[in-house]
Structure 1
């Protein structure tokens, strides 16, 4: 359902609008820049962005994922498809055996989305991230996925 491609200069204005939508801004602060992120494209339209980070130490090798989509595309399966598509690439092409994702513990929609891909809750990270809207610390939920569990 989605195509992932490097963010282009023409995508930045669209992504800036998306990350400021109230439903997105509740969980994401605007990034300083979009270098290294991938645009999420659905039916030829940029509908969000996804990024990953990699731990390359052989003893702890794994990758992490973060994603946001425009509110008008929430609840349509695009989030799960985005995470699944990137997860498959990180496992098959980059050789990771474990992936992590860390939504706000209160972000029930994101947690359901990631669960559909096969991510499982590991534990609560207390006072994990600073909520840029309220200035308070919020708990995060650490979730992980082993390669064999990818749905």
Structure 2
């Protein structure tokens, strides 16, 4: 599977990507929001101009009464502010809607992660509500609030 946006390509994480993604997820700007995963299996590498600049993942709820998908992403700080994360999320969202038939997508950044929230709004995600003490800050050991955002298929930009 390979998904192409205007500037980014999303493809399964390959053998050599793990070391690169491990370095990215440990960057202070990324580590503030992501704890290092045990592995990157099941994630898609975000590739810009031939360089792996981050990873994006999705999960699907397949129960017909609650069917939807969720997205999560991280990018190296060096390539933030260029619209690449927004494009990666939009590319994956379109695929989940058009190829997998999802009518609703969710994303749940930390409530304090204003840059991520701004990016997701550009794709069309809307705030649903604050999830209090939602995720543990792996650096401080304290609980932080999350912002649940969703996007209906007809709202996808």
Q: For each residue in 1:79-118, what CA deviation from the matched residue of structure 2 results, as whole angstroms up to 9, or x when unmatched? A: 1000000000000111100000000000000000000000
Distance apart, 1:141 and its partner CA: 0.0
Within 5 Å, give how 1:45-124 maps onto structure 2: 45-124=51-130
Instruction: Report the Cα distance in structure 2 between the residues aligned to 1:132 and 1:29, rounded to whole angstroms.
Output: 6
2:48: which partner in 1?
A: 42
1:137 aligns with 2:132: no
Q: For each residue in 1:40-78, what CA deviation from the matched residue of structure 2 results, as whole angstroms up to 9, or x when unmatched? A: 000000000000000000000000000000000110000
Unpaired segments ≥5 residues, structure 2: 1-6
Instruction: Report the Cα distance in structure 1 between the residues aligned to 2:64 and 2:23, rounded to whole angstroms.
Output: 39
1:33: which partner in 2?
A: 39
Instruction: Name the count of aligned residue pairs.
Output: 151
Instruction: Report the Cα distance in structure 1 between the residues aligned to 2:132 and 2:37, rounded to whole angstroms.
Output: 23
Runs of 4+ in structure 1 over 2 Å off: none
Instruction: Report the Cα distance in structure 1 between the residues aligned to 2:137 and 2:71, rounded to whole angstroms.
Output: 19
Cα RMSD over matched residues?
0.3
When normalised by structure 2's length, the TM-score is 0.96
Unpaired segments ≥5 residues, structure 1: none
SS of match in other structure, 2:116: helix
When normalised by structure 1's length, the TM-score is 0.99
